[in-house]
Amino acid sequence: MTEMATFSTDRDTVRFTGSLSLAKIGDLPERLRAFDGEIARVDLSDIERIDTVGAWLIHRFAAEHDAAVVGLDRDGQHLLAQVASADQPVAMRPAQVGSLIRVVGEIGAAVEQTGRTLYGLLGFLGATLIAFWHVATHPKRFRFNAVVQRFEVVGVSALAIVGLMSFLIGIVIAQQGAVQLRQFGAEFLTINLVGRITLRELGVLMTAIMVAGRSGSAFAAQIGTMKLTEEVDAMRTIGVSPMEALVLPRVLATVIMMPLLGMYASIVAIIGGGLLCWISLDIPPVTFVQRLREVVPITDLYVGLVKAPVFGLIIAVAGCFQGMLVEGDAEQVGTRTTAAVVQAIFLVIVLDAFFAVFFTSIGWV
């Protein structure tokens, strides 16, 4: 039977016997605090067992009397070393840091986080392409119903809000353009402004921003909730790939629907601009359409159709990527959903600037 922990003194050595564990330690802490002799060594060769509580008592006792601890086996020495390394003063308040150092530190942390996020996005994009290749080479694994359902969520359900937004944007562009061009007696150039800017830039760009806020956030929240409820882990357990079942249908639906939504938004914006030109500038619809055919090159349409699927890919990948990163609690769902929207909109705008330079360089101006 394990004995209670005791100690005895022999000249400059204190010897411990019994079990230095929480269950058998008894009143040993009080007796050690009452000990006031001078010692050089603490001998633990006769103890039966030692746990973290016992190691802490021995460490504190040896440190108070500046004594060496001997007689422990390898495991006991490791435990005592771990307890000694944890005996550090705790700062109740963080040390004061200068404003410049704090700002530089925050900038550095933001840059580091941005680099890690971009690296993760590239890796997730690669995993999505691999999943697409697996499905393409094994068509029976393609989830047609899931893709069609995403068509409805991403495209059909968004027609009303995208149409209203585009119609109002077309009216605003025409109104502001007419006000400025009236100073030079060139109100008719409002048609050029409405036609080119909606087909080439704003139609697709504003649609991408709307889809990012509407569908990208939904992707992150849906997948994040499935992560919290361990549905994603359950899918892996039964042999279903989350990339093929959850990510790929959303990516395909967004990539396919974005050109259609972008074209739809551009047409509605042109209708809004044409309506204002008819009412405010007395330009009849026939003249408006004829002028559009003269001044808007077909390359503007090509620009929008090229950019739209790329924007859709970025939005879907960002949303699904952030959803897959959710872990811990429900607060993570909100955090990751916000991050998905912000990252998608930021990347869309960056890519739009890149496309603007690229198409100008190849002569599509």
Taking the chain (365 residues) in runs of 10, the rounded mean pLDDT of each run is: 69 83 81 81 84 86 84 85 80 73 90 92 94 92 91 92 94 92 88 91 93 94 92 91 93 95 95 93 92 91 93 96 89 92 94 92 86
pLDDT of 91: 60
In sequence order, what DSSP letters do the residues of 88-117 get, joined into one string? -PPPSSPPP--HHHHHHHHHHHHHHHHHHH
Residue owning tokens 């050690």: 32
Report how far residue 111's alpha carbon sits from residue 23's, in angstroms, rounded to the nearest whole number: 51
Six-digit token string for 302: 């090509």
pLDDT of 67: 84
Contact between residue 227 and residue 327 where contact means Cβ atoms under 8 Å apart:
yes
Strand order in the sheet with 6-10: 6-10, 13-20, 41-50, 68-70
pLDDT of 94: 66
pLDDT of 30: 84
Contact between residue 223 and residue 246 where contact means Cβ atoms under 8 Å apart:
yes
Contact between residue 214 and residue 161 where contact means Cβ atoms under 8 Å apart:
yes
For the chain, give me the number of helices (H) and strands (E)?
15, 4
Rounded alpha-carbon distances, angstroms, from residue 346 to 183, 260, 306, 350: 35, 22, 19, 6
In sequence order, what DSSP letters do the residues of 119-156 get, joined into one string? HHHHHHHHHHHHHHHHHHHSGGG--HHHHHHHHHHHTG
pLDDT of 274: 93
pLDDT of 307: 94
Prediction pTM value: 0.74
pLDDT of 247: 94
Report how far residue 353's alpha carbon sits from residue 254's, in angstroms, rounded to the nearest whole number: 21
